[in-house]
Amino acid sequence: MTDNVTAFKQALGNYPTGVTVVTAYNDANEPIGLTVNSFASVSIDPLLILWSLDKKSQLHSHFQATKKFAVNMLASDQAHLCTLFSSKIADRFAQTIWSTSAHGLPILHDTLSTLQCETFKQVDAGDHTIFIGHVLAIDNAQKEPLLYHRRHLGQIPASFYE
C-alpha cells in the first residue's frame, strides 16, 4: 500500500494545477479560507464546480456547515497568498486585502478569477469531502494564473505563448 501511496503522490505531483483559495464565513461570522488545488469544473448547465477538503482539516466542519463559498483563483503574482492560506496562521485575512461581496462572501482582491457559489452537494469520498458548488457570480481579470507543479509555484513561461 505504501508503494502505491508514494507512486500516487509522485504521479499527481507531476500534474500541474492552478491554485485557489476557498473562502467563506463560519458560524461566528468570521472569514475562513484555505489553499486548494483540488479544483475542477463539473457542469455547464447548471454551472457547477468542485473542490475537496481533507476531513482532518481544522476548517472541515466549518465548510461542511456553510451554505456558500468563494473560489479565488490566484494570479501569478499571488504566491504569497498560496503560502499564507496554507499556513497555520490564525488570522490569515489580517495579512491580505479582501472585502465582503454582494453575495456575503469574503473575496480576495486582485485575483485571476473569483467564483461565488452556493453549496450544491457534499460527497463523502474516502478521507476527503468533495464540495460541489453552483456558481452564482463570476469575476475575471486579465492576469496570468499561478501554477503548482512538483511542489513549486510559478507561472506559465512567456515562451509558451510564442
- What class, spelled out in words, does domain 28-147 have in CATH? mainly beta
**47, 134 contact by CB (below 8 A):** yes
Which residue stretches of 16-143 are H helix? 60-65, 79-85
Catalogue the long-range contacts made by 119-128 (C-beta closer than 8 Å, 24 or more residues apart).
Answer: 119/66, 119/67, 119/68, 119/69, 120/46, 120/48, 122/64, 125/52, 127/54, 127/55, 127/56, 128/38, 128/52, 128/53, 128/54, 128/55
Dist CA 118 CA 103 (whole Å)? 10
Output the tens digit of pLDDT for each of the chain's 162 residues: 567 888 877 776 766 778 999 999 999 999 999 999 899 999 999 999 999 999 999 999 999 999 999 999 999 999 999 999 999 998 999 999 999 999 999 999 999 999 999 999 999 999 999 999 999 999 999 999 998 877 777 887 777 666
Where in the chain are the domains? 28-147
Dist CA 23 CA 106 (whole Å)? 6
Q: How far is CA 82 from CA 47, 135, 162, in A?
A: 25, 22, 28
